[in-house]
């Protein structure tokens, strides 16, 4: 019996590793709707939905997937059923559309009758997001794999996920479902997130993952970056400059000491989150306005977004974290909207009195690879190679 246990332990070590999964770049819903002129009407509709819900607080307040620009592939079941997945550090649940979902006909759907590893759970779930959208259905258990069939995958048996039998707000999106990469304490129904499950099963060398994002214009279907699970990304990222302890192990939340650009500077220490699901950086209106003025951006009230010259040469936006200063260069915060129009990659974000005051989205993550350390509850930053 002892030899069997030793062999099993060695097998577990042998199976652990580091997995690099490619991302795909897409044009965000916001940019697409601004380009075709439908964004102002959509903003009014979204505000109506928020107000008519009658709820001051929703279960995922920081999530607004209209800004999503990077998506990944994943599979569920045996044999594998493919999905286009939002890899989101701002949430902690995995869900995909179910084959019984009437509103999901344009998406890949999960058919439990075709999977030999499906295990019924039966518990109902529902998640409401900060933009008024929601998803709900029944929990289940199956094998989830990061990455697409035919590539190197990180496969996690016995993963609990949501079979979405109803969707509202996600119906016409290019993606199928969402995979949360935040902590279990943030998960609806306290479901164990897939990556935490992988760590518990000792499938990774280290309890960390690293995100590197490419700098690409408004073109769909291009290589968008790499998620490295179980280690650092020495190919696309420099050495870690510093780690910052988390102020809350729910979101990937930590404190910054200040932010500024040019002659404008805010030295108010505040909580922020690192969020791969947001294509801009969001912050308090007064601070964003000050930074926008310093870089020469102008507010467009109809679209609730700042515009900036595509060929402008504005100063860096500088964020102070700990004792280090992190520069976001114009190449990472000037967003090409197509047709000769560019946008300043910062937006006013109202936390509504709960949650973090700032969201550090893709302009920051494109500048600095973010290493998310689940084991030591900290986040590290390394200069991104481009």
Give the dihedral sign, CA 257/366/21/92: positive
9 by Cβ neighbours in 10 Å (0-12 / 13-18 / 19+) ranks as exposed
* Closest C-alpha among 346, 263, 363 to residue 298: 346
Are the C-beta atoms of residues 149 and 116 closer than 8 Å to each other?
no
Which position among 64, 98, 233, 275 bears the catalytic label? 275
* Closest C-alpha among 211, 210, 207 to residue 199: 207
Say whether 88 is catalytic. Answer: yes
Say whether 233 is catalytic. Answer: no
296 dihedral zone (left: phi>0; alpha: psi -120 to 50; beta): left
Are the C-beta atoms of residues 364 and 192 closer than 8 Å to each other?
no
SS3 content of the chain, % helix, strand, coil (to 5): 20, 40, 40
Distance CA 211, CA 233 (A): 8
Which position among 64, 88, 176, 316 bears the catalytic label? 88
**16's tokens:** 């652990």
CA 172, distance to chain mean position in Å, is 19
**203's tokens:** 């499938």
Residue positions counted in the chain: 386
β-bridge mates for residue 169, sequence order: none
Alpha-carbon Rg for the chain, nearest whole angstrom, is 21
Tell me the catalytic residues. 88, 275
């Amino acid at each position: 019996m002892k030899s069997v246990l030793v062999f099993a332990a060695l097998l577990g070590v042998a199976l652990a590793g580091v997995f690099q999964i490619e991302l795909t770049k897409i044009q965000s819903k916001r940019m697409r709707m601004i380009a075709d002129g439908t964004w102002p009407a959509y903003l009014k509709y979204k505000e109506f939905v928020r107000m008519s819900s009658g709820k001051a607080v929703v279960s995922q307040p920081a999530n607004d997937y209209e800004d999503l620009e990077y998506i990944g592939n994943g599979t569920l079941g045996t044999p594998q059923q493919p999905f286009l997945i939002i890899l989101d550090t701002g949430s902690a649940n995995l869900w995909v559309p179910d084959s019984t979902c009437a509103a999901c006909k344009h998406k890949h759907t999960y058919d439990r009758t075709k999977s030999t590893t499906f295990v019924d759970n039966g518990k109902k779930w529902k998640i409401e997001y900060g933009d008024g959208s929601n998803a709900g259905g029944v929990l289940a258990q199956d094998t989830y794999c990061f990455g697409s069939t035919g590539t190197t995958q990180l496969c996690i048996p016995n993963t609990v996920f949501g079979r979405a039998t109803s969707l509202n707000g996600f119906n016409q999106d290019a993606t199928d479902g969402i995979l949360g990469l935040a902590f279990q304490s943030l998960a609806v129904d306290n479901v164990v997130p897939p990556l935490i499950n992988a760590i518990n099963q000792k499938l990774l060398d280290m309890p960390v993952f690293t995100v590197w994002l490419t700098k690409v214009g408004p073109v769909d279907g291009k290589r968008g970056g790499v998620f490295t699970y179980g280690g650092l990304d020495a190919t696309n990222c420099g050495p870690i400059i510093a780690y910052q302890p988390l102020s809350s192990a729910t979101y990937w939340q930590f404190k910054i000491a200040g932010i500024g650009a040019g002659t404008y500077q805010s030295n108010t220490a505040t909580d922020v989150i690192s969020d791969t699901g947001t294509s801009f950086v969001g912050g308090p209106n007064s601070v964003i306005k000050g930074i926008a003025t310093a870089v020469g951006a102008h507010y467009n009230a109809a679209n609730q977004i700042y515009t900036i010259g595509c060929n402008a040469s504005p100063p860096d936006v500088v964020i102070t974290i700990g004792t280090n200063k992190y520069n976001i260069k114009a190449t990472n915060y000037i967003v090409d909207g197509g047709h000769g129009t560019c946008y300043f990659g910062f937006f006013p974000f109202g936390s509504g009195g709960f949650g973090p005051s700032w969201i550090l989205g893709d302009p920051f993550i494109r500048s600095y690879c973010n290493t998310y350390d689940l084991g030591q509850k900290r986040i590290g930053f390394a200069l991104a190679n481009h």
